[in-house]
Amino acid sequence: MLTLTLNGVVTDVDASTIAELVATLGLTGKRIAVERNGEIVPRSRYVETPLAPSDRLEIVGAVGGG
Amino acid sequence: MNAPTDPSTLADPLVIAGHAYRSRLLVGTGKYRDFDETRDAIVASGAEIVTVAIRRTNIGQTAGEASLVDALPPAEFTYLPNSAGCYAADDAVRTLKLGRELLDGHALCKLEVLGDSRSLYPNVRETLVAAERLVADGFQVMVYTSDDPIVARELEAIGCVAIMPLASLIGSGMGIVNPWNLRLILEQARVPVLVDAGVGTASDATIAMELGCAGVLMNTAIAKAREPVRMARAMKLAVESGREAFLAGRMPRKLYEASPSSPSTGLI
């Protein structure tokens, strides 16, 4: 288990890569974007991008707006 | 459905960054009652380009819950991610980069950088900074701005693909409060000018098009009408009629002088 900040909330996650985290959250294949420590992680790199303790992650999607 | 049209069949297309669109009405996806109403209104509006906001996913959300992209598939509509809620150039650039990533590299975006949380008036200095960075990074920037013609000129010089001056405050429904500035912007612009923000009812959209705008972007005017789907239809017609009137060339105004429509001779 890793402790990191996910969307502003300190969370324990059972994942060692971005791909695993996305899967744990039920977001695999969904239209999202991921930012790790201020840098965007392209979808093609989810599998090979590791998670580290104290990482700051943002997972965003498109919502209604003007 | 408002599927992308074959550009060669369009008589008077809206051309933005080299892409031709049939509809000159662009619509936001916020403030609707639910996704069904969002979709019904947008389909009724005929809009092809829809704005979306970029926000954190709800981590606690169940996997099967519907999302905006289910109701309005990006394959059917051209998504225009916005930087709504950003008050600094850095935030706007960061947000739009995330938007581009989630749309598989789609370069078209709506830049807005706000300066005040009550009026939601744009911070034009931060907008100029953000625009420069985004254009340098390959974005096609449609930029929300004030109706200051000098700022509009500078944004165009930076390379924005469309200038979008406000008609009035976001969500205010006040219509075009300063048609004089809008005309100054229209006279000098060599990229499309679209009114964005403050449209309240159909006549506001028609007036924008009669002035010579390339298009109109609105959200609250439709979403907060008593009958949004009906207002969406009204707006579609309003934009079309305003455009036709503009192309037809209106009659001149004659101040303090009348001109009878019936003959002055042969009176009994």
What is the band of B65 on the pLDDT scale with cuts at 50, 70, 90? confident
Interface test mutation site (partner B, options A28, A31, A59, max chain B beta carbons within 10 A): A31
Of A43, A59, A65, the CB nearest to B57: A59
pLDDT at residue number B176: 97
**B163 pLDDT above the threshold of 70:** yes
pTM for the complete prediction?
0.94
Of A11, A27, A63, the CB nearest to B52: A63
**A19 pLDDT above the threshold of 80:** yes
Interface of A to B at Cβ within 8 Å reads 6-9, 11, 25-27, 30-33, 35, 40, 42-43, 58-66
Clarify whether B110 is annotated catalytic: yes
Closest C-alpha among B110, B104, B57 to residue A61: B57
Which listed residue (B31, B97, B110, B254) is catalytic? B110
d(CA B162, CA B89): 18
Q: Is the ipTM of this complex over 0.90?
A: yes
Distance of CA B68 to the CA centre of its chain: 19
**B4 pLDDT above the threshold of 90:** no
Q: What are phi and psi of A23, to 5 degrees?
A: -65, -45
- What is the b/e burial string over A9-35, where b = at least 16 CB atoms within 10 angstroms of the residue's CB? eeeebebeebbbbbeebebeebbbbbb
Q: Which residues of A touch B220 (CB under 8 A)?
A: 66
Of A8, A31, A65, the CB nearest to B102: A31
The burial of B34, by beta-carbon neighbours within 10 Å (0-12 exposed, 13-18 middle, 19 or more buried), is given as exposed
Q: What is the pLDDT of residues B182-204, one digit of tens each?
A: 999 999 999 999 999 999 999 99
User: For residues B179 and B150, is the Cβ–Cβ distance under 8 A?
Assistant: no
d(CA B238, CA B46): 12
CA distance, residue A39 to nearest chain B CA (Å): 9
In the predicted model, what is the mean pLDDT of residues B25-31?
Answer: 98
Contact assignment for A31 to B220 by CB distance below 8 Å: no
pLDDT at residue number B164: 98
Q: Does B74 touch chain A (CB under 8 A)?
A: yes
B11: CB partners within 8 A, 6+ apart: none
**B60 pLDDT above the threshold of 80:** no
Give the tokens for residue B235: 């707006």
CA-nearest residue to A32 within chain B is B102
In the predicted model, what is the mean pLDDT of residues A31-42?
Answer: 97
Of B32, B55, B59, the CB nearest to A6: B59
**A38 pLDDT above the threshold of 70:** yes
d(CA B103, CA B74): 8
